[in-house]
Structure 1
Amino acid sequence: MKLYPIESGNFKLDGGAMFGVVPKTIWNKTNPADENNLIDIATRCLLIEDGNRLILIDTGMGDKQSEKFFGYYSLWGNHSIDKSLKKYGFHRDDITDVFMTHLHFDHCGGSVIWNKDKTGYEVAFKNAKFWSNDSHWDWAVQPNAREKASFLAENILPMQESGQLNFIKRPEGDLLKNSELGFDIFFADGHTEKMMIPKIQYQGKTICFMADLLPTAGHLPLPYVMGYDTRPLLTMPEKAKFLTEAAENNYYLWLEHDAHNQIITVENTEKGVRVKEVFSCEEIL
């Protein structure tokens, strides 16, 4: 097995929305805001090469939305999925599986593109199976008012219409061992219904793709919960359970949204679970 970081693009989000009830005087120390109160956000996806399979975890925002839409998110940098894949000798047509932690636009937007004449949409990975789970899919295609702006039909429905959509079998508890894709999956409901967190065994290490359970290293303290979370009081015990296990077992936490810290390990301290070490992807992979 080999792992590759796939940088799909950077943007900015309101720091207050990213830290909920935490005062700016506190979160600004770890995630400094610009003059518009915006903080740097990455969409750092992960490619797994395992035998004949090339599994891409999340796909970022994509580039098919309007100029007005992207104007809300202050895109920066020159990353893209195609550039990242090419760096490692791959093409999007080589991808066999696309695993989506959840279907918010900044995690799955790159799964769908315009067709050639821009009259409709098509999947961006024509040879891939797309993986979600039935509970989250139903939640996304019939969105509540709180999340409606994050679940965009053009990002989601073409996967089903193409016949390439598949559902991960959900466990009775919160952990699925040895999924169809070869890794364990932790299911979390605080951010959105049945978000999936992959736990990958790699060269004697456990690498956890944290998605929005832990967006940045600055979100480690349990009360530091995003304003975007639908059930913040559920996020806290989910984080506590996962981070305690991560500290005890020296998991490597892949931070999808942290523009400045790529992978961290954590440890128990008097103040709770905190950063132990910070690594670049190259150091671990």
Structure 2
Amino acid sequence: MTLYPINSGNFKLDGGAMFGVVPKSLWSRTNPADENNMIDLTARCLLIEDGNRLILIDTGMGNKQSDKFFGYYYMWGNDSIDSSLEKHGFHRDDITDVFLTHLHFDHCGGAIQWNKDRTGYEPAFKNADFWSNKDHWDWAVNPNAREKASFLKENILPIEESGRLKFTDIPKGDMLKNSALDFDVFFADGHTDKQMIPMINYKGKTICFMADLLPTAGHLPLPYVMSYDMRPLLTLNEKEKFLNMAADNGFYLFLEHDAYNEVITVKHTEKGVRLDQVLSANEVFN
């Protein structure tokens, strides 16, 4: 098995929304804002080469939305899935599986693209199966009013229409051992219903793809919960459980949205679980 970081693009979001009730004077120490109160973020995906399988975890926003849509997110930099895959010697047609932690547009938008004549949509990874879970899928296709803006039907319904949609098992608790893609999955319901956190056994290490359970290193303190979370008090409990497990077991936390910290480890302190090491993906994967 070999792992590769895949940067699908960079964007900005309002810092206050990203940190909820936490005052700017606190969160800006780790995530400084610009003059519009926007903080730098990224959509860092993970590629797993495992035998005949090439598994991509999350896809970023993609590029099919309007200029007006992307204008809300202040895109910056030149990274894309295609350029990042090419850097590692791959093409999107090589992908066999796309594992979607959840179906918010910044995690799944790149799974679907315009067709050639822009009359409809098609999978952006034509040879891949697309993985979700039944409970989250139902949640996303019948969205609540608050979350509806994040579940875009053009990102979701064409996956099912392609005939390539597959569902993971849903555990009785919060941990799925040995999923169909040969990694464990931690299920979390605070951010959105049945978000999936892959936990990959790699060269004696556990690499955890943190998705929106821990968007950036700045979100380590338990109360630092995004306003985007549907059940913030549940996020508190899920973060506490996962971070304690990470500190106890020396997990490597791969950060999807942190523009400047790719991988971190954590440790127990008198103030709770806090940052231990900041590492590049290459340091951890090689």
Shift of 1:126: 0.7
Corresponding residue of 1:201: 201
- Other-structure match for 1:68: 68
TM-score with structure 2 length normalisation? Answer: 0.99
The one-character-per-residue Cα deviations of 1:223-264 (angstroms, maximum 9, x if unpaired) are: 000000000000000000000000010000000000011100
**How far has the Cα of 1:113 moved from its partner?**
0.3
Question: How many residue pairs align between the two structures?
Answer: 285
Query: For residue 23 of structure 1, what is the amino acid of its counterpart?
Result: P
Q: In the aligned structure 1, how far is the partner of 2:186 from the partner of 2:87?
A: 30
Instruction: Report the equivalent of 1:148.
Output: 148
Deviation per CA, 1:85-129: give whole Å up to 9, x if none: 111111111100000000000000000000011111000011100
What CA distance in whole angstroms lies between the structure 2 residues aligned with 1:270 and 1:28? 22
Residues of 1 paired with 2:192 and 2:115: CA distance? 30
Residue matched to 1:164? 164
Residue matched to 2:256 = 256
Task: Tell me which residue corresponds to 1:270.
Answer: 270
Quote the residue 1:53 is aligned against. 53
1:133 and 2:117 equivalent? no
Other-structure match for 1:106: 106
The unaligned stretches of length 5 or more in structure 1 are: none
Deviation sequence 1:138-186 (CA, Å, 0-9, x none)? 0000110110000000001111000000000111110000000000000
Provide the C-alpha distance between the structure 2 equivalents of 1:162 and 1:30, rounded to a whole number of angstroms: 42
Name 1:246's counterpart in structure 2.
Answer: 246
Query: How many angstroms apart in 2 are the aligned matches of 1:174 and 1:122?
Result: 33
Paired residue secondary structure (1:230): coil
SS in 2 for 1:264: strand
Q: CA RMSD in A?
A: 0.4
Once residues 170 and 75 of structure 2 are traced to their aligned partners in structure 1, the CA distance between those partners, rounded to angstroms, is 35
Q: Which residue of 2 aligns with 1:90?
A: 90
Corresponding letter in the other structure for 2:19: F
> What amino acid sits opposite 1:181 in the alignment?
L
Q: After the TM superposition, which residues 212-231 of structure 1 pair with which residues of structure 2 at under 5 Å, given as runs?
A: 212-231=212-231
Q: Which AA in structure 2 matches 1:110?
A: G
Question: 3-state DSSP class of the match of 1:160?
Answer: helix
Q: Find the aligned partners of 1:280 and 1:17 in 2 and give their Cα distance.
A: 27
Q: Percent identity?
A: 75
Structure 2: runs of 5 or more not aligned: none
One-letter amino acid of the counterpart of residue 86, structure 1: E
SS at match of 2:236: helix
For 1:282 and 1:168, how far apart are their aligned partners in 2? 29
Matched, 1:79 2:72: no
**What is the CA deviation profile of residues 260-284 of structure 1, one whole-angstrom value per residue up to 9, with x for unaligned ones?**
1110000000111000000011111
SS of the counterpart of 2:150? coil
